[in-house]
Amino acid sequence: MAIMSVTPASAPDLADRLRSTGYLPGESTALVSFLATRLGKPVLVEGPAGVGKTQLAKALADVLGRRLVRLQCYEGLDEAKALYEWNYRKQLLRIQADPGTAGEAAGRAATWREVQDDIFSEEFLLERPLMDAIASPEPVVLLIDEIDKTDQEFEAMLLELLSDFQITVPELGRVEARTRPVVLLTSNNTRELTEALKRRCLYLWLDYPEPELELEIVRLHAPDLGGDVARKLVEVVQLVRELDLKKPPSIAESIDWARALLLLGARDIDQDTFRETMSVIVKHRTDLDVVAERVGVKLAARSANGAAAGG
């Protein structure tokens, strides 16, 4: 077998490999991912937006040496978009392109059967992500992103896929997985998922990281940023998350902010720098007011001290 896939030996081993791809996993993240690769069970990853749920799938694909197949869910997503669809246009073309031996009744009947068999073959099947993941000859990582955005009917349809790794196509029969994909489902917890779905999955709750881990992440992605500034940045972001905001800043936004500060050449986060750059981490107008009022004020005292000390 010339498959390049890697199987991690233990959870710490997987954690190290993930780290080497630039994803810093928490302890339970590495453990649950490891269990998923060993047990072949799907993982339901829940947590607030922007804590790296999607990133985890990418990193896992990277580590395991597998292709990532991604299905982005949205309201009204149906089987045609997720599983497979017949390529109507191509089917129509096929029928029109081959009029058969016109005139002879028996010949026409035979051709009809031929055409019928022909246009419902794999050639006319448009593979959508789920079918792609199941039918793929090499093992893949399947990411079903934001499952909570879909309807409950779609969830029910997923059950067959998640427990038996097979899909039934009426015209073709059952398509069974040739290899077992590692499946990750992410959810922002906007609605309660059905018990049946949860039962089939391992569960991983990803929360905003602890300050130390976030500092490490920021450092990894903006290595040129000074240590003090990075530390302060993480402190401020954690403060901002405590507030009741429409959209609290995610890890990605901390990283963006770190890069913005780097570009501006900021040596310290004082009130002015904060006011100019806070739109990187806070994206709603009402939130901006709240943050300026509650966090900006705290920084003002510090900046005054700094100015006095500086001269």
Q: Which of 21, 38, 168, 283 binds another protein (CB under 8 A)?
A: 38
Q: Answer yes or no whether residue 284 interacts with another protein by CB under 8 A.
A: no
Nearer of residues 31 and 217 to another protein, judged by Cβ: 31
The CB density around residue 295, as the number of other CB atoms within 10 Å, is: 19
Nearer of residues 199 and 267 to another protein, judged by Cβ: 199
The CB density around residue 183, as the number of other CB atoms within 10 Å, is: 26
Nearer of residues 265 and 285 to another protein, judged by Cβ: 285
Q: Which of 55, 179, 188, 303 binds another protein (CB under 8 A)?
A: 188
Count of residues for the chain? 311
Nearer of residues 187 and 254 to another protein, judged by Cβ: 187
Q: Answer yes or no whether residue 195 interacts with another protein by CB under 8 A.
A: yes
CB 45 within 8 A of CB 184: yes
Nearer of residues 43 and 233 to another protein, judged by Cβ: 43
SS3 175: strand
The count of residues interacting with another protein (CB under 8 A) is 39
Phi, psi of 139 (to 5 degrees): -65, 145
Residue span binding another protein (CB under 8 A) among the ranges 63-71, 111-119, 199-207, 258-266: 199-207
Nearer of residues 148 and 256 to another protein, judged by Cβ: 148
Question: What is the pattern of x (binds another protein, CB under 8 A) and - over residues 71-100?
Answer: ----xx-----------xx--x--------
Helices 251-264 and 227-242 sit at what angle, rounded to 10 degrees?
140
Residue span binding another protein (CB under 8 A) among the ranges 41-49, 56-64, 105-113, 271-279: 41-49
Nearer of residues 219 and 241 to another protein, judged by Cβ: 241
For the segment 118-177, give every residue that binds another protein (CB under 8 A): 148, 151-153
**Residue 143 has which token pair?**
């990411």
Quote the distance between the C-alpha of residue 213 and its chain's center. 20
Q: What CA–CA distance (Å, rounded) separates 205 from 45?
A: 6
Q: Which of 61, 143, 201, 234 binds another protein (CB under 8 A)?
A: 201
Q: What CA–CA distance (Å, rounded) separates 226 from 273?
A: 15
Q: Could you report how far apart the first and last alpha carbons of the chain are, in Å?
A: 69
Q: What is the DSSP annotation of 38-78?
A: HH---EEEE-STTSSHHHHHHHHHHHHT-EEEEEE--TT--
Q: How far is the CB of 19 from another protein (least distance, A)?
A: 17
Q: How far is the CB of 298 from another protein (least distance, A)?
A: 15
Q: Which of 27, 114, 210, 276 binds another protein (CB under 8 A)?
A: 27
Which is nearest to 154 in space by CA: 51, 53, 81, 225? 81
CB 156 within 8 A of CB 195: no
**Residue 101 has which token pair?**
């031996």
Which is nearest to 80 in space by CA: 191, 157, 177? 157
The Cα-based distances of 44 to 139, 147, 199, 231, 288 in angstroms read 19, 9, 10, 32, 33
Q: Answer yes or no whether residue 32 interacts with another protein by CB under 8 A.
A: yes
Nearer of residues 35 and 262 to another protein, judged by Cβ: 35
Residues that bind another protein (CB under 8 A): 10-11, 27-28, 31-32, 34-35, 38-39, 41, 44, 46, 75-76, 88-89, 92, 148, 151-153, 188-192, 195, 198-199, 201-205, 242, 244, 286, 290
